[in-house]
Structure 1
Amino acid sequence: MIWHLVAAVFAGLAAAGIGLLLRTISRKRLPKWIVPVFGGLGMLGYQVQFEYDWFEHKQLQLPETAQVISSDTSSNMWRPWTLIFPITTTFSVVDSENVRAQTVDGDLVAKFILYQFERRHTDLITTQPYILNCSSRELIPLNPETGDADLNELRTLRDTSPLLTTVCQLANERQT
């Protein structure tokens, strides 16, 4: 976090230097306020660039066996540029190394961990183990400590769910 502050300050100083250079080239015909305005725009530009690159940066940090299942974008009034171009703030990942498959009563059942990344002032990563019945499309969360199924939270996924498609494909590969 401290390095982003340092980077923002240096981006501001570099942009202020450009403003000062432009003022010098124009033989001081440009107003004095151009230097701090350029500095502020440089810091703001760095912050905007950092926010939009967060998703790609996090993807590069994931292992090769990780597959992004879904991503969500958001817009905020205090970030007016996101009203035009929403930024990715959360995404979900399944690591193919963690998918375990078995056949139960003729149904393919996969056990896996879903990782959810959320962009906040510090990145939030939550992990949740699940059991997925690929035949009936039933998804059941497991208690992370005991491994017991929480049947109250059972839900049925749509046929087009990327989570269903990805996990069941990985489970089929594990079976063969």
Structure 2
Amino acid sequence: MLWGFVAVIAAGFGGAGLAVILNKITRGRTPKWLTPAAAAVAMLVTAISNEYSWFAQSQANLKPGVVVVNTMETSAFYRPWTYVYPMTEGFVALDTNTLADHPSGAGRVTGDLYLFGRWANTEHLQVLFDCPTGRTLPMIPGENYDTVTTEDFPDAGGDSQMITAACQGREGK
């Protein structure tokens, strides 16, 4: 966050500096509003670029074996450009390195999910995947899930990409 702020301020100085240089080249013929306008445009473009590049940078920093299984894209009236190209404000990643067969067998797998947000702390969640039915069950730390049955899983309708990644990831090991 600090480096994003520094980048926006530096862009403002750079945009204003270019306007001042242009004013010197034209011997003072540029309008007076050009310098603050150039600074504002440079700052806005830098801020927008930082917002859009966050997801790609975060994804590139994931350790090997961690795959993105879902993204949360948003649009907002105060960011009109997001209606043309929605901005990714968060994503869910599955750590395939942590996938393990569940003691109950029956095609069940446990694994770790991470929830990343643009301006939020990363959340960790351990999930039990029931591969045959395509259901998921978030696991509460300290609870025993060794004797879980199909009835313990909420209704189907989970994220199919996440379930597919978990079930195929375990088969590949």
1:14-37 alpha-carbon deviations (Å, 9 max, x no partner): 111111111122221111110111
Alignment: residue pair count:
169
Q: Which residue of 2 aligns with 1:171?
A: 170
Q: Aligned equivalents of 1:91 and 1:68: distance in 2?
A: 7
Gaps of 5+ in 2: none
The reply on whether 1:134 has 2:131 as its aligned counterpart is yes
2:157 counterpart of 1:161: no
Q: CA deviation at 1:152?
A: 6.8
1:155 positional shift: 3.4
Distance 2:164 2:116 in 1: 20
Alignment-mate amino acid for residue 133 of structure 2: S
Using a 3 Å threshold, how does the CA distance of structure 1 residues 116 and 98 change in structure 2: closer, same or farther?
same
Indicate the residue corresponding to 2:114 in structure 1: 115
Could you say which residue in structure 2 is the equivalent of 1:63?
Answer: 63
TM-score scaled to structure 1, two decimals? 0.87
The alpha carbon displacement at 1:80 in A equals: 1.5
Partners of 2:53 and 2:29 in 1: CA distance: 37
* Contact kept in structure 1, 2:134 and 2:160, CA below 8 Å: no
TM-score by length of 2: 0.89
For the pair 1:146 / 2:128, whether they are aligned, the reply is no
How far apart are the structure 1 equivalents of 2:113 and 2:78?
31
Per mean C-alpha deviation after superposition, the further-off stretch among 94-103 and 14-23 is 94-103
Percent of residue pairs bearing the same amino acid type: 26
Q: Tell me if the contact between 1:98 and 1:113 (Cα under 8 Å) persists in the aligned partners.
A: yes
Letter in 1 for 2:111: F
Unaligned stretches of 5+ residues in structure 1: none
